Chain A
């Protein structure tokens, strides 16, 4: 059942996850056919939630056929084996099975949620989708039309325009600079053979990450995993992605869009997930612009001056690059003021770092909030998949508290300079008064 809200007007930009310092106990299991997975047993609700990832996301696309991996994701529930699209969807819906696929730059993610009583059927259908997708021509054309419709709409959406411009400028000639969804001139070129080629290269048992959460024991979980994944080929065949750092630092790009409010994307070089300074950077960024009501940017831009409804930034990391990326949206005659404050606050953080009090408050928040965010089986599954992909270790949820506590004020100051001392690339979509493009392309 769905409900169309007249307006759900939150007081802040972010509606943060939800609660539950759930005692997450992760077990390592191996399926009868030898596929490893992490499992969390949670017996209070009669359901099973699965999260999994293959290596190889949109960065595997050929530049001329950008959007291939994304089209595969959109096509996997459009028929498999003997089941055409209609029949496949009906089987899912008759048992209230939720199956979804999402493409990131580095990974191809999948999720499954099912009532316990239908879990065999759910995992069988997933196995069919992964090993025998049909890619029927009429379904491809229908889904391609939907992707193109979204791309056309995004072409005039200021949020998409500012964001795309940032990525294209920061990562020119690199797959990270492209939209996962592709572009109006690439999506029409993707053929069935391209979809099959992606499946052949990416869907395999090596580099397969699985998390299963719910009312299930190790034996049953292993059997379910084999139903879905045992028939996959042993090994993937991915191309290497070169390392990259964001370009265009110091540039400001203004794109004229006739909207009342200018949308701003800003950011610079970030920090790799495996870097020993990562946690310090994470805390410092929380203090500058993380998603809470107390960040410096929130206070200066929103609370004191009312320049924007929301402003925040966050660390974003990939396998071969890392950035710090933020955004806001502000009225045209004050966009320059808002940007000025963001730049000043960023520089102030780079120069002086956080205060001791801010550091203590941020640590306290981040320690508590993590556990609170793991509030449903699906979220726990997604989180432990991410922990696996980031190679953080099965004890990470406990270890994380100590890593946070270990960050000293000197660490924080040094890392603040490292993170924000290098300048930013800024893109603006709208009609900001008195703000023009500046800096040169390199």
Chain B
């Protein structure tokens, strides 16, 4: 039985730098157009189809304080038409091809993609290049869409106590970095977002020199480059893309804790997030060691946390750990567990602490290290089976401070991780002073808010 299904961690994906060591990678091409647009082409000739993605180097962490949710709101509004193509035309064309499209926003990037037959690549590139600078918005389309994002907030967060816990933990963990703001936004600020806010944000951040296009599929790098020059190449560079310098975290000095009580909680959770380096902010090797550490501690039923808490001590129904390496600024490492009946969250937290302390004191075994490397490198092979996964990995890397080369060399760096480095990572980063511990409990009293 899988663990993640229990805690409903639906948003767990394979990570940004899981990349492959196969012949295919040597064919990945990386170009820069004269207007500053980066183009990455990942040839995959298994079928006559292409995945085309544009990644803008702007996300929720680039918003001005007080306008949370704006990056994501703009993502929605990008479907509302340009001077050349009225609202809905782009989507209708993609649909008529049997193609697929969507978009996504995180703290660090905003992406748009289409998957279409290879012969239609030029068409979607032309549309995408057009809306890079040609967006036109009226209140008639902006105001109903604001209602849509408010419903999205309800669906993802308001109706979901687990998501609200994560939101509160992030807000408490980041004292200074904008990563503490939810990507979807705070409701009271979302309600005030306007057409002018959206257009202002768009004009400030959208342009060829602040974007990367990733094309995976049945196309040669040369052909893709020509198409890019004919479409995106015609867009003038943005005059003033500022470097992405966001407020950084001070050295964390105090362990923090919080409790979220909700009458609907039937499965209590303890979740702790530590402030740790991302791939971009880490020294060489540190991020890969954290990756291995997260796997050994908390991925699957052979992991330390699952074995100790669920199988041996029988005090939890679920337990695990994760690490997000893909972020421009300092990122997060999380551990979590859900208690069995009759076990309190403090008891469970103590047991989690003991598992972490053991790894910090004694390190991991050679077998654990080998098994984890096998798994991580196999993930990269499995990834090759999906064109979209490949494109996503490159795109998220390029928008969080990594390079194409960083991605292709990832398996080698994983192979080089030593047991000592993993133990060091546990000692150095899994320090409670760097963390926020959150309890999700059932609210049984009208006045609520107390620790269980």
Contacts and interface: CB of A to CB of B under 8 A. Distances in A.
B148 A1 contact: no
Interface string B81-125: 000000010011001111111111111000000011100000000
A438 B297 CA distance: 52
Contacts of B16: 3
B98 A370 contact: yes
A437 interface: no
Given A261-B158, A303-B144, A376-B386, A8 B11 contact: yes
Contacts of A74: 1
Interface stretch (A190-198, A204-212, A232-240, A305-313): A305-313
Contacts, number: 286
Contact of B267 (A149, A306, A364): A149
Contacts of A260: 154, 158-159
Interface in A145-163: 145-147, 149-150, 152-153, 155-159
A93 B144 contact: no
Interface residues of A, number: 90
A10 B388 contact: no
Contact of B117 (A12, A21, A304, A310): A21
Interface string A295-338: 00000001111111110000000000000000001110000000
Contacts of B95: 292-294, 361, 364-365
Interface string B292-316: 0011000111100001001100100
B51 A19 contact: yes
Interface in A349-383: 361, 364-372, 375-378
A112 interface: no
A6 B263 CA distance: 25
B408 to A, nearest CB: 16
B324 interface: yes
A146 B266 contact: no
B143 to A, nearest CB: 7
A145 to B, nearest CB: 5
A169 interface: no
Name the residue in A19, A75, A78, A149 with the highest tally of chain B Cβ atoms < 10 Å from its Cβ.
A19
Contacts of A435: none
Interface stretch (B33-41, B42-50, B224-232, B239-247): B42-50
B299 A94 contact: no
Contact of A306 (B13, B144, B159): B144
Contact of A302 (B148, B301, B370, B371): B148
Contact of A3 (B314, B324, B377): B324
Interface string B246-277: 00000000000000000111110000000000
Contacts of A7: 11, 60, 72, 105-106, 156, 182-184
Interface stretch (B127-135, B332-340, B357-365): B332-340
A90 B107 contact: no
Contacts of A369: 98-100
Contacts of A361: 92, 95-96
A89 B300 contact: yes
A34 interface: no
A142 B310 contact: yes
A78 B117 CA distance: 43
A377 to B, nearest CB: 5
A3 B15 contact: yes
B266 A155 contact: yes
Name the residue in A7, A18, A365 with the highest tally of chain B Cβ atoms < 10 Å from its Cβ.
A7
A364 B154 contact: no
B159 A259 contact: yes
A260 B187 CA distance: 12
B13 A364 contact: no
A54 B388 CA distance: 31
Contacts of B172: none
B12 interface: yes
Interface string B134-160: 000000000111111111101110110
Nearest to B370: A94
Contact of B15 (A2, A145, A294): A2
A329 B151 contact: yes
Nearest to B9: A4
A7 B179 CA distance: 11
Contact of B99 (A8, A263, A372): A372
Interface of A: 1-12, 15-23, 42, 44-47, 49, 74-75, 78, 85-86, 89-90, 93-96, 100, 113, 115, 142-143, 145-147, 149-150, 152-153, 155-159, 257-261, 263, 292-294, 302-310, 329-331, 361, 364-372, 375-378
22 contacts: A2-B299, A3-B16, A3-B326, A4-B334, A8-B104, A18-B387, A19-B47, A19-B51, A19-B100, A86-B311, A90-B302, A93-B374, A146-B1, A149-B317, A260-B154, A293-B91, A306-B151, A309-B152, A364-B97, A365-B97, A372-B100, A375-B387
Interface of B: 1-2, 5-6, 8-9, 11-16, 18, 46-51, 60, 72, 75-76, 79, 88, 91-92, 95-107, 115-117, 143-152, 154-156, 158-159, 170, 179, 182-184, 217, 263-267, 291, 294-295, 299-302, 307, 310-311, 314, 317-318, 322-326, 332, 334, 338, 340, 370-371, 374-379, 381-382, 384-388
Closest 8 CB pairs of A and B: A368-B98, A306-B147, A19-B115, A96-B378, A3-B15, A306-B144, A261-B154, A156-B264
